[in-house]
A and B are shown apart, each in its own frame.
Chain A
Amino acid sequence: MLAIIPTISQPASKNGMGLFTRKNPRDFEREVSGELAVLFRVARRLGCGHEEAEDLVQTALIKAYKAWDRFDGNHLRSWLIKILRNERLMVIRSQKETISLDEHEEIEVVQEGFWSELDGKLEAERILNALEKLSPPYRMAIHLCDVEELTYEEAAEIMDVPIGTVRSRLSRARQILREQLLAEAKAEAKS
């Protein structure tokens, strides 16, 4: 009969601060199970089609499983997303694609009703289309922070950028999204 060895790790939630411990392979399926949908959504935001996203998640899971005994139990979600993102970058590099990033300094907005103007123009399909049009770094910033609700620190770790860059990308990405959604809504109203 097999004995189940208890681990002393705390649940590795997105905010979990587990103790450093070698992970039992048996925990992998149980702990990672809740992150599958997150990984799939991130893969889609990284520009993968539906099937490509499945393949990417699978490759990332294999890598994660192999490295499971070296995972310290902290921030499981960030750890998995980082593996996934690295895998995607490897594919992109091998295809010699280049990611263009129109990096902007933080922009302070002063006009009245900047965000309020969007009210009533937020439809799921329209938002998803606008998200797809964002350049990859902006799309990732929005997805990690607004969709998966990761902290700036976790997003910075995943994207390999300073926290300030996450903040400025997020700010810029939200503004671009807002402008796109408004423009589309106005164009639709005219027609």
Chain B
Amino acid sequence: MNNNLIQDFLDNRLTAEERIKFEAQLANDPALAQEVAALNHFKSSIQKAAFTEVTPNLQPILSDIARPRPTSWLTKSAPIAVAGFAIFGIGMAVNRVVNDRTNPTLANAKTLPAEAKFRTKSPLVMHWDGTDPIQGAEKIRNHFSRKIPTIALSDLEGANFTAAECGSCWISFHYQYQNQNYAIYGRCEKGSIDSGLQHSSGNQTFYEFQDAVGWYDSGDMTYVCTGGNSSGRFKVAQFASKRTSDIH
């Protein structure tokens, strides 16, 4: 019995002549017929097994990529706005550098590596502006299949929740604290912030970068706090890290 002949028969690779010959052989050889049926069953079992795997809903990702955003007067005037923001941003950055130089921890710190910039890893799926962190977390949960914490920062005086966002593989919470904007990004992965300067506070290890501070929760998530200045970031991260391990 030729196994390749059976395979070619089932995969429709035989010529018409070869097929007729094989079918004649099949009709007179019960063992061959049984073997063909068994390989056919084997093939369909592989297919059935592969189809049992759960496929996530990828439609929002496709829609996000495929639907071009409408061009409005806002977009047309974007270059002017960008220039304005750039001037403002340079001022803020200078202010931040001066501020951060007073922090000896950051003297040797690296900048946040590209792999830890979770916001860039997949396009935005949901943005929600609001002041209720519970509602914000709920909005993310509607789009994000994993468990996520509610990080209210209600115990950090002066911190106000401002927005929630998520992509298909990342989440973020946004706050205003001491007139500065901060964002906490989370993603289900490990290892991307290892290059940061390590230091511990309580039971938590933090990874400091010049422009961010990160930490791992007790499960499989990594969090990174960006924005504001170094002391504010660390404060926000300290309080947030108490909540990020609550869910596991």
Contacts and interface: CB of A to CB of B under 8 A. Distances in A.
Interface of A: 25, 28-29, 32-33, 36-37, 39-41, 44-45, 50-51, 54-55, 57-58, 61-62, 65, 106-119, 122-125, 127-128, 131, 142-143, 145-147, 149, 152, 167, 170-171, 174-175, 177-178
A117 B41 CA distance: 12
Interface string B67-78: 110000000000
B101 interface: no
Given A58-B168, A116-B34, A25 B68 contact: yes
B61 A54 contact: yes
A127 B66 CA distance: 36
B50 A147 contact: yes
Given A58-B122, A112-B31, A118-B42, A171 B7 contact: yes
Nearest to B8: A167
Given A37-B55, A131-B46, A145 B63 contact: no
B83 interface: no
A143 B38 contact: no
Contacts of A118: 38, 41-42
Contact of A32 (B50, B66, B123): B66
Given A36-B59, A146-B46, A174-B7, 12 more contacts: A29-B63, A36-B55, A37-B58, A45-B50, A51-B189, A108-B3, A109-B3, A112-B1, A119-B38, A124-B45, A131-B46, A174-B42
Given A119-B38, A127-B49, A147-B46, A33 B62 contact: yes
A123 B52 CA distance: 11
Interface of B: 1-4, 6-8, 11, 13, 31, 34-35, 38-39, 41-43, 45-53, 55-56, 58-59, 61-63, 65-68, 121-123, 168-169, 188-189
A152 B11 contact: yes
Given A37-B55, A58-B168, A147 B63 contact: no
A175 B45 CA distance: 14
11 contacts: A29-B66, A36-B55, A36-B62, A41-B50, A55-B169, A108-B4, A122-B41, A124-B52, A170-B7, A170-B11, A171-B7
Contact of A124 (B38, B42, B48, B61): B48
A115 B35 contact: yes
Contacts of B47: 146-147, 149
Contact of B46 (A28, A39, A111, A177): A177
A55 B31 contact: no
B50 A143 contact: yes
Contacts of B48: 124
A119 B41 contact: yes
Contacts of A143: 50
A33 B61 CA distance: 10
A170 B49 CA distance: 17
B54 to A, nearest CB: 9
Contacts of A41: 50, 53, 55
Contacts of A127: 45-46, 49
B62 A61 contact: yes
Contacts of A171: 3-4, 7
Given A57-B61, A124-B49, A178-B42, A114 B67 contact: no
A93 B63 CA distance: 30
- What 8 pairs between A and B have smallest CB-CB spacing? A115-B38, A29-B66, A109-B3, A127-B49, A124-B49, A122-B45, A36-B58, A116-B38
Nearest to B67: A29
Contacts of B46: 127, 131, 142, 146-147, 177
Nearest to A117: B38
A31 B62 CA distance: 11
A106 to B, nearest CB: 6
A50 B55 CA distance: 9
A54 B56 contact: yes
